Amino acid sequence: MTTAITKVVFPVAGLGTRFLPATKAIPKEMLPVADQPLIQYAVQEAQQAGITEFIFVTNPTNRAILESHFGANDALESMLLERGKTAELKIVAETTLPEGQVKFCYQDEPLGLGHAVWCAREFVSDGSFAVVLPDDLIMAKTGCLKQMVDVYARFGGNVVAVEEVPRDLTSRYGILDVDQDDGEIVSAKGLVEKPAPEDAPSTLSIIGRYILDGRVFGHLDKKVTGAGGEIQLTDAISATIGEVPFHGLRFDGTRFDCGSMNGFVEANVAFGLERSHHESDLRSYLKSHL
Ligand code: G1P
């Protein structure tokens, strides 16, 4: 028996130092890809998966910006209404989340992803919940998290999104020690955070989508540090293997690593082409530019 996944945690307390100076005054998750900030894609993907409670692990400064992005803006809405800008009005209204659906908590020290999720424990520890890292932007017909919710409904336990990476990049990811693999769904007997290529048990990496059983907090509570001296979410998931089912899903879609400059620019091209009202202009510009 599984329960519905209704809560998502967004670990968004990072300083975004790789994107300075863009992130000097603006949180990284507010950087736009085409016409939307990264965090909005993440919220939409969660909504498509049936989620109704959005928990942001952040800091007071970023909270203010997130609150104004996802809160109502009466002045803007009346101005758009007055000017007859109905399409824009609809966009603004769709961005607004009902107040009761939005929660904030703070991560005061950068102690790792596991620690960030642990900071949200009071909101989620009573059941299963999702974690979405907005840096990993996924273009997919059916949202990646919805695909994962369907796998969770079959197996329960912990589910992560996975994709193959070149072996020389394993040290950037959580890597699965594969047990069974049907080409789409994988079960693993272990997980290793950021192994060196020669130590990696496979090349199947976790990307930033998780459905987690509340039991991960049993491990996160211990505040054990792992790779890079940080409290790793991967280690907490690994510690529950045997206690709860664990599956990786090779999701259907394309993932853009918006934590890197190249991935961010690629995402802007791909989403720009998809979301542009003048796609052919953009396409021919890109062709002529190249
Ligand atoms: C985190 C996780 C890692 C995962 C990655 C996906 O690493 O710790 O297991 O593979 O996200 O993007 P980070 O990118 O925060 O270093």
Pocket lining: 11 vs ligand 1, CB cutoff 6 Å = no
Q: Which of 113, 163, 169 to mutate to test the pocket of ligand 1 (most atoms within 8 A of CB)?
A: 113
b/e 242-273 (16+ beta carbons within 10 angstroms → b):
eebbbbbbbbeeebbbbbeeebbebbbebbbe
173 lines ligand 1 (CB under 6 A): yes
- Each residue's pLDDT, cut to its tens digit, for the chain (290 residues) gives 678 999 999 999 988 899 999 999 999 999 999 999 999 999 999 999 999 999 999 999 999 999 999 999 999 999 999 999 999 999 999 999 998 999 999 999 999 999 999 999 999 977 899 999 999 999 999 999 999 999 999 999 999 999 999 999 999 999 999 999 999 999 999 999 999 999 999 999 999 999 999 999 999 999 999 999 999 999 999 999 999 999 999 999 999 999 999 999 999 999 999 988 777 788 899 999 98
Contacts of 20 (CB under 8 A, 6+ apart): none
CA of 184 to the centre of ligand 1 (A): 21
CATH fit for domain 7-288, picks 1.10.3720.10, 3.40.640.10, 3.90.550.10, 3.90.1200.10: 3.90.550.10
CB 90 within 8 A of CB 139: no
Rounded to two decimals, the pTM is 0.96
CA of 172, closest atom in ligand 1:
16
**Helix locations, the chain, DSSP H:** 38-48, 60-70, 74-82, 86-95, 113-118, 121-124, 144-155, 216-220, 233-239, 261-275, 279-289
Q: Exposure of 290 by Cβ count < 10 A (0-12 exposed, 13-18 middle, 19+ buried)?
A: exposed
Query: Between 38-48 and 60-70, two packed helices, what is the crossing angle to 10 degrees?
Result: 60
Domain ranges for the chain: 7-288
